[in-house]
Structure 1
Amino acid sequence: MASAVAWSWRNALHGAVLGVPAGIAMLADPVDGFTTGLTLAVGVLPAAGLGVAATRPQRARGLVIGAIAAAAIFVGSVIGRMPALAVCVIFVLCVAVALLAANRSRRLATPVLVLGLPLIGVGLSFASIGEGAGAALLILAGTVYAFLVSLLWPARESAVRPVAPPATRGAMLVYGIQIGIAGALAAACGFALGVDHPGWACVAALMVSRPAHAALVSRGWGRALSVLIGAVLALAVAALSPPPAVFAVILVVVLTAATGTAGSRWYVFPLFSTVIVLSLLMGPEGEAPAHWFLERLGMTLLGIALALAAAAVVPRVAARLRRS
């Protein structure tokens, strides 16, 4: 079993290299470098969460993960223009992808289920389809860069992990309905509340959801605490307003820590992604830092609560329907 908070120097060095373009951008342009650097850091976040795989074919699969992330964000930006459609599409996709994941031959269904569906919520927050397309291209560029950098590390023997048998279609149908309700309600609440990022609650609900209730509870606590700590750190950085050189170092350190702890059993990655995302929003222009702190934390807690509520209700209703 992995350590609660694992550390890999191999992954950490990879994360430091991933942060180099962002750090250079901050140092090279004292005017726009802040935004450019943080934007580049966002682009490598999906790759940072994966670390360096043992074999090169496994590293190449990271390109597929990046493509899924980019496509999901773009889809979210498209359907986000029509809130009612977005809520319906999220529910239908959750059910459909969960059913596909029950088939062992559907290898793409699992990463779509655990990463693609939540990142649709990220796309809901973009103001236009053009912004969503730009973010998708940024993710793709960051993924390709991370893959090319990973080739500098020598391949090594990969540990053989036991493959769990696929769940039954009936169980995955119930799970799909469960996460579909949680994700759709979270998106609906985001739109109804008129927050700046209506997809944040949806992201949280779908990121923490897992078929095993214990895993859902663990990820729920982990994401809540990670987002809280990350938001506090982002507030502290915004209050200190460090010079570009110091901020560049902070950014590289954050990406290094995010990748170095990629193998942790605890759900710590949201801490680092929250620092980067909120630092971008807490820039010199825009809303006050406290606004973004409260919105990020509030929407995260709302999404987790909806995920827990759906997990408590939907399986019980399904069991009663089967008995009757």
Structure 2
Amino acid sequence: MIRSGAVTWNWRFAGYGAALGLVAVIVVFSGEVLTGTYLMIGSIAAAIVGLAPERKARRPVIIVGVLFGVSILLGSILALWVPLAVVGMFVVGYLAAQLAARKPAGVVALSVILPLTAIGLTYHGIANSAKVAGLMILGAIGSYAWAMVLPKYEGEVPQPPQLTPPEAKHYGLVLGVAGALSTLVAFALDVDYVGWLVGSTLLVIRPTWDLLSARGIGRMVSVLVGGTAAALLLLADLPTPAIAIVLWLVLVTMAATSASRWYVTPAFTSFLILWALLYGQAERNGVKVKLDERVVDTVIGVAVAYLVSGAFLLLGRVAANRPHDEARVAS
């Protein structure tokens, strides 16, 4: 493992990432670039979670990966009707926080189900999202197979933090309002990719202001870097073998740096998602426009996260000071 303060490189996780992307790279080499890209996107969850020391601790890989696809389907159904999408994102956000307080694995609902449901809003109906979700689930199955094959090693399994019931009630309201408001804003602005905006809100929002600030800034910078890299390489019109190698290196680097203190993961996810959306679009202006949209939607989504968190923080302070003020007036 190599540490440089803000960025950590784990060679074991890099090897795991190389294994995760092997089948997808072969598919890309065969000429099916989009199919291979979506298979690789299905491995994102495993790349981020990393390779646990014990095989029994690796089982969540397939659960998280399958939830990637299922969440995309759920979001695409909600997107059929704007009021349903707004109310649905509030409900999913609130319930995700409650689940995180009751089950240790419930943190998956916060980190995967909620933002992926938001990203699914980009699609409209099962017919448009089923193929993407299916390829992502296949990628997750392949990730699980590799996790079971690779050898065990000495190490501790990190335990995800668990919310207390009072924290879950408050945070559930924050998530619900943030999800509903960002969905409403995205549809009101008539953006091309609703999920980019709403997903940005729900991927950065956190229970405390300090965590939100660090994550919000990190996401905006990472999205800009990853999106620009994807756009430049798309415009370079790389041959298929070069595309396969580039996509493989992106997944490997994502896995290797997943434990970094800096929030660098969105650079790699943005690269893969933009590549899937823009590959084959020959017009240079079209690629630039989509990159600009990605960056602007991210900024708006992060701004909504700050707005909602700031409003709840202010309301909390007002509520905390009210008894003191009433007691002082009475005296």
- Same fold, TM-score > 0.5, yes or no: yes
Q: Secondary structure at the match of 1:181?
A: helix
TM-fit CA distance, 1:238: 1.3
* Residue matched to 2:25: 23
* Residue matched to 1:54: 53
Distance 1:182 1:57 in 2: 35
Q: Secondary structure at the match of 1:210?
A: coil
* Residue matched to 1:132: 129
Q: CA RMSD in A?
A: 2.0
* Residue matched to 1:236: 232
Distance 2:238 2:154 in 1: 43
Deviation digits for residues 203-261 of structure 1, max 9, x if unmatched?
11111111122111111111111100001101110121111111111111111111111
Query: Which 4+ stretches in 1 moved above 3 angstroms?
Result: 160-164, 321-324
Give the greater-gyration-radius structure (CA): 2
TM-fit CA distance, 1:95: 1.8
TM-score (norm 2): 0.89
Q: Is the 8 A contact 2:231 2:287 kept in 1?
A: yes
Distance 2:214 2:18 in 1: 29
Distance 1:158 1:75, change over 3 A: same
Letter in 1 for 2:19: V
After superposition, residues 154-303 of structure 1 pair within 5 angstroms as: 154-159=151-156, 166-285=162-281, 288-303=286-301
What 5-or-longer segments of structure 1 have no aligned partner? none
Letter in 2 for 1:301: V
* Residue matched to 2:113: 116
TM-fit CA distance, 1:271: 0.5
* Residue matched to 2:76: 77
Distance 1:163 1:152, change over 3 A: closer
Equivalenced residues, count = 317
Q: Is the 8 A contact 2:35 2:135 kept in 1?
A: no
- The answer to whether 1:37 aligns with 2:36 is yes
Q: Secondary structure at the match of 2:197?
A: helix
What 5-or-longer segments of structure 2 have no aligned partner? 324-331
* Residue matched to 2:329: none
Q: Is the 8 A contact 1:43 1:135 kept in 2?
A: no
Distance 1:237 1:160 in 2: 37
Letter in 2 for 1:101: A
TM-score (norm 1): 0.91
Letter in 1 for 2:309: A
* Residue matched to 2:9: 7
Q: Is the 8 A contact 1:118 1:206 kept in 2?
A: yes
* Residue matched to 2:326: none
